[in-house]
Chains A and B, each alone.
Chain A
Amino acid sequence: MKRFAYLRASSVAEAAAAVAADPRAAFVAGGANLVDLMKYDVARPTLLVDVARLPLREAFARVADAILAPARPLKGNAFKVELPAARFCALCRRPRAARRSGRASKA
């Protein structure tokens, strides 16, 4: 495991700001995935921001509201939810490469 710094965030805002400010930072809640990947040097965050003791249920409820707000009603109780394409890899948080088309374009 590579050396890293550790921060136990005292608020959701502090946690979000700390990870947003450092491209090599990562959130940790339980660690069951991330710590395992760090042991294999697959994940190499230089800063771990611990969110385990934060009131994330409320934060996620707000995010869920925001995501579901533009849902368009379909038949019955079904909704079509349109999400913006994920721009960052959930694991390494690097920007995703733009999706390439199947054919090589001839400019």
Chain B
Amino acid sequence: MIAPDVTLLDLLRERLGLTGTKKGCDHGQCGACAVLVDGRRVNACLTLAIMQEGADVVTIEGLGAPGRLHPMQRAFIARDAFQCGYCTPGQICSAVGLLNEGRAHTDDEIREAMSGNLCRCGAYPNILAAIRDVLAESEAAGEAAQ
């Protein structure tokens, strides 16, 4: 049983041992705790675990693993889109959520849609480049399929 006051973030980190999702501000301002709930990006620090009963929660651990990385993880490495790496799991989950939404196409739209994820190292240009790469890949794949 989970007490009602346990956030999804604390459930993941403290009870399930999934420490890939980071606790930054714990107040929904930094995006380090972003995870995918039923495919949508959510700040895990501001949702209660009990509210997500039955939902499909994907963290950075579930996106990929060494040897079988998610395309977004590969792009972050290829573009050197981090320095310290603390915000990276949230950045990547948020970027995957953004691609699921299908509403960002230009650089400015990507920046706006990623504005909930802060990076104190200032790796923003490389984060943008990584997301742009994956977006271009998926759009090319979509056009090829049509």
Which listed segment binds A: B40-48, B81-89, B96-104?
B40-48
Which A residues are closer than 8 A to B by beta carbons?
A: 1-6, 8, 28, 30-32, 35-36, 39, 48, 50, 52
Judge whether A48 and B47 touch: CB under 8 Å. no
Q: Which residues of A contact B48 (CB under 8 A)?
A: 6, 28, 31, 35, 48
Q: How many A-B residue pairs have CB under 8 A?
A: 37
Closest 4 pairs (CB-CB, A-B): A6-B4, A1-B5, A35-B46, A32-B46
Whether, in the assembled complex, B27 has its beta carbon less than 8 Å from a beta carbon of chain A, the answer is: yes
Pairwise interchain contact B51-A39, C-beta atoms closer than 8 A:
no
A65 to B43, CA, bound (A): 34
CB-CB < 8 A to A1: which residues of B? 5
Q: Given A36-B46, A48-B4, does the pair A28, B27 have CB atoms closer than 8 Å? A: no
With a cutoff of 8 Å between Cβ atoms, the chain B residues found around residue A6 in the complex are 4, 48, 50
Q: Complex Cα distance A4/B50, Å?
A: 12
Contact B4 A31 (CB under 8 A): no
Q: Determine the chain B residues whose CB is within 8 A of the CB of A30 once the complex forms.
A: 46-47
Contact of A5 among B4, B28, B47 (CB under 8 A): B4
- B91 within 8 Å of A (CB atoms): no
CB distance from A25 to the nearest CB of B (A): 13
B59 contacts which chain A residues (CB < 8 A)? none
Q: Which residues of A contact B50 (CB under 8 A)?
A: 6
Residue from the list A3, A4, A35 in contact with B47, Cβ < 8 A:
A35
Tell whether, in the assembled complex, residue A3 and residue B5 are in contact, meaning their CB atoms are under 8 Å apart: yes
Name the one of B5, B7, B27 contacting A4, with C-beta atoms under 8 angstroms. Answer: B5
Query: What's the Cα separation between A48 and B47 when bound, in Å?
Result: 12
Q: Does B133 contact A (CB under 8 A)?
A: no
